[in-house]
Amino acid sequence: MNSAITGKPDVAKREVAIVNHLRDNPEGATLREIYEAVSDKLGDTISRPAYYKLLDRLIVAGKIDQIDDAQGARRYLISPQLHVTNRITLDDVYEMLPFVESTETMARAIDAQEYFYEHRHTVIRKTASALTQEPAVEIFFRWIDDLLSTMQADLDLYHLVEPEGLHQGQQVFSDASLERRLQHQCETLREILYRHLSIPHEAVDISEWDGPHGLKRLGRFFYNPSLLTETLKARVFGVGEQETVLGLIKVDEPTLVSAAQDMIISGSDGSFHAGTMGIRTAQGFVEDESFVVTFNNSVAYIRSSERMAKQKGDKKYLHSAPVTRQTLDDPTYKGMVLAPFMFPMLTASEYEHMARTASDVVQMRVDDEVFNGKARDLTTGEQIMPPRIHIRDGTITPQERGFNHYIQMNPYGDIAREGIARSRSILQRIASSQRHPQIYAGCVKSTQLRLFSRFINWYIAKGSRLTRGAPIEPGWDIERAGFISDIDVMTVLLANEAVPPAPNQFWMSCVVLRQFASLTDFYAQRFGNERTWLSFLKEMRDNAVSTYDKYGGEMPYHVLISEDDLAEDAYLYMLEHGDYASFYVGHTWGEPPPKIPRYEFLCFREADTTQIKQHVVRTVDQIATALLTCQFSQDRDHNFLSKVTLTKLIPSVVYMAHEFAKQLGKKLETDYKSVVIARLAARRNQRIEERDVEIQPMSVRRYIQRFVDARKALPPPEQDTDER
């Protein structure tokens, strides 16, 4: 019989009651507890087994989770949800992706992490000690040289032809297993050389693997050892006078006193939350995926120097994009509030990637204004002095830097172009103050890069034999250890009793520098003596014009602008001048130690290797001074999908920005809701109560799954720029 006729609760009311009960019991509840509480409240008469079906449906919908407690009893609890005080950052998104993309990948990563921790006091301790003696450039050269030698030996086997007998003229060893091994070697080397180290093809030229045909371009690679060595001197910078892989960086007391007196240090946080917006009616709240609203916000926290404090009082400054009813619709601040129905011209994949890019760009707007001295305090409107060092929560590389997206004439392309333009603005500020340039740095808490992890694994098993006569651990399981992330391996390596730090100093890694092009779909482009990035983009423009003339369609951005404008374009500027340096600082301790972030900073490209080295050394010294001056805070956010609390140590200015952003997020959501109510009331010519319009929190897993589904429409790996 219809529940509406009998007055009994329908499915929607039962589900709402279950969710509300679990919200009141965050530790979770058993089926029996849920059934007794909810059926009593609703006056329900259906059986307890029937409630299993309701719970199963809520699990599938992502509203609740199921766990087994310590006694083995099945319990149900509310799924982690996105809301104002439970926001996530882009780092969080990438940290959670393996939990929904691939259980096998996640299992291997956890196993690799445990393997390293098991050997922390033995193998890793010896490795840390040894790397304080290894010259960085030399050992990186030996690593690449060894990988190339190994691949050459396998290529010789693969192309070996039987000289005589029944199988004369046939390849002897060209079986599927060897082909897979060679393909993996090729892809790994191309990633290390062209994506992570920006090695030019004049030094090492490895083409793509072409199935059973082997390497493209005659089936072999080109290698110039002396040019590789010279290039590495401009890509890898060791620590200290001996320029070793690991080393101490020290800051003397007078420098720290001076920094406290004069150095202005700022940090920024960019995060987002989401919810389903709708009007509550007598029938309940109806969810609609097209009304999933994402709120992006960013705050900069500026720590004033002691000198400023003497003049203005002990004051801290805050800056963000203004959150008012007017700015929510102002194109200048586009991307702060997003929903799929606002962008019907975008595919689902394009929209989800634009939403991630928008979160990055909203933060970069704040970074740009603070860095260039255009920021004003949120409360007083007072102009904020530009910082000596600005530390951004997350990577400083634009989230969207693929040229194929940059040239799209739609909202996705608009956001991508703004991100590149903001990067250019910051880089130009750095370039204009070459005597004492400001520093634009990033604090990356989650990374997909596996440069240092691959290098450390190789060194333990093989590289140490080349320089020390015997490997540190000849039985090291590289296949098992190979899935560890750079952040995990460097945390374990640098938080090591074999190399204990002292006051006012850190152990740190060498610095690795790569060019902007390595982060784009152009990372493997070959150039002759006369070909430049400008001539390359002009060729692309000419090809696009020809395609349009022949087939029609929509003109992309680089066709609509003139050749002269192309020569001044922000993307070209970053290709020609943008470099990114990254390194690790061992500022954590304990069992287990809190995870360390990857630090990185933006550089204006220098032609002279000596100038590059001087700039890198000076910048690292100032970052170390800034870290000791502002100190650290524990970030105890948790991975919502694993139920594991992750302790990370981050600069205090970044942590403070993170905390203040929660307050801004609430105001952003409230003001947006008020605007929608006012406009809806005007359209319907009726009064709408604010309490009837709700923004229901959205499950974290469900939101991440939307992004995972969108990633499936990404370009093939050779063109993918979605890397942090």
Asked if the model's pLDDT at residue 120 lies above 80, the reply is: yes
Torsion of CA 144, 145, 148, 149, to 10 degrees: -150
Give the contacts of 472 (CB within 8 A, at least 6 positions apart).
Answer: 123, 126, 127, 130, 459, 460, 461, 464
* Residue 151: closest CA among 182, 192, 191: 182
Tokens standing for residue 434: 């070459």
- How many whole angstroms separate alpha carbon 655 and alpha carbon 667? 20
Per residue in 645-693, pLDDT (tens digit) is: 567 889 999 999 988 887 777 777 777 777 777 776 776 676 766 666 7
Beta strand extents in 54-134 (DSSP E only): 64-68, 74-78, 81-82
Q: Which residue has the tokens 């709240």?
A: 285
Helices 570-577 and 411-431: crossing angle in degrees, nearest 10, is 50
Overall average pLDDT of the 165-174 stretch: 59
Residue range 3-79 forms a domain whose CATH class is mainly alpha
- Helix, strand, coil shares of the chain as percentages rounded to 5? 50, 20, 35
Give me the percent of the chain exceeding a pLDDT of 90: 44
Give the ranges where 43-102 is alpha helix by DSSP (H).
48-60, 90-101
Helices 48-60 and 31-42: crossing angle in degrees, nearest 10, is 100
Tokens standing for residue 376: 């004003």
Per residue in 77-100, pLDDT (tens digit) is: 887 777 666 777 777 777 777 666
DSSP 161: B
Q: How many residues does the chain have?
A: 724
- How many whole angstroms separate alpha carbon 275 and alpha carbon 476? 47
- How many whole angstroms separate alpha carbon 41 and alpha carbon 38? 5
Strand duo 389-393 + 439-444: pairing: parallel
CB 580 within 8 A of CB 448: no
Average pLDDT, the chain: 84
| Residue ranges of domains in the chain | 3-79, 137-237, 255-449+507-717
* Residue 232: closest CA among 136, 313, 302: 136
Distant-in-sequence contacts of 374-383, Cβ < 8 A, 24+ apart: 375/300, 375/302, 375/317, 375/319, 376/319, 377/317, 377/318, 377/319, 378/318, 378/319, 378/320, 379/318, 382/317
Tokens standing for residue 363: 């933060």
Cα angle: 92, vertex 97, 98; to 5 degrees = 125
Cα angle: 200, vertex 206, 208; to 5 degrees = 125
pTM for the predicted model, two decimal places: 0.87
* Band (171; pLDDT cuts 50, 70, 90): low
pLDDT of residue 527: 81
* Band (283; pLDDT cuts 50, 70, 90): very low
Q: How many helices (H) and strands (E) does the chain have?
A: 26, 22
pLDDT of residue 156: 86
Give the contacts of 84 (CB within 8 A, at least 6 positions apart).
Answer: 273, 662, 665, 666, 669
- How many whole angstroms separate alpha carbon 253 and alpha carbon 244? 24
Q: Is 605 helix (H, G, I), strand (E, B) or coil?
A: coil
Distances (CA, A) of 200 to 203, 214, 230, 523, 579: 6, 22, 11, 10, 14
Give the contacts of 704 (CB within 8 A, at least 6 positions apart).
Answer: 93, 96, 97, 99, 100, 641
Radius of gyration of the chain (CA): 28
- How many whole angstroms separate alpha carbon 482 and alpha carbon 318? 42
pLDDT of residue 337: 84
Per residue in 208-220, pLDDT (tens digit) is: 998 877 888 777 8
Distances (CA, A) of 440 to 313, 393, 587: 26, 11, 20
Give me the percent of the chain exceeding a pLDDT of 70: 85
* Residue 705: closest CA among 271, 100, 106, 275: 100
Give the contacts of 463 (CB within 8 A, at least 6 positions apart).
Answer: 139, 142, 143, 146, 455
Give the DSSP letter string of 321-342.
---STTGGG-GGGTTSEE-GGG
Beta partners for residue 318, in sequence order? 301
Overall average pLDDT of the 23-52 stretch: 87
Tokens standing for residue 66: 């199921």
* Band (3; pLDDT cuts 50, 70, 90): very low
DSSP 289: G
Per residue in 375-414, pLDDT (tens digit) is: 999 888 889 999 999 999 999 999 999 999 999 999 999 9
Q: Which residue has the tokens 């983009």?
A: 537
Overall average pLDDT of the 57-70 stretch: 74
- How many whole angstroms separate alpha carbon 609 and alpha carbon 612? 5
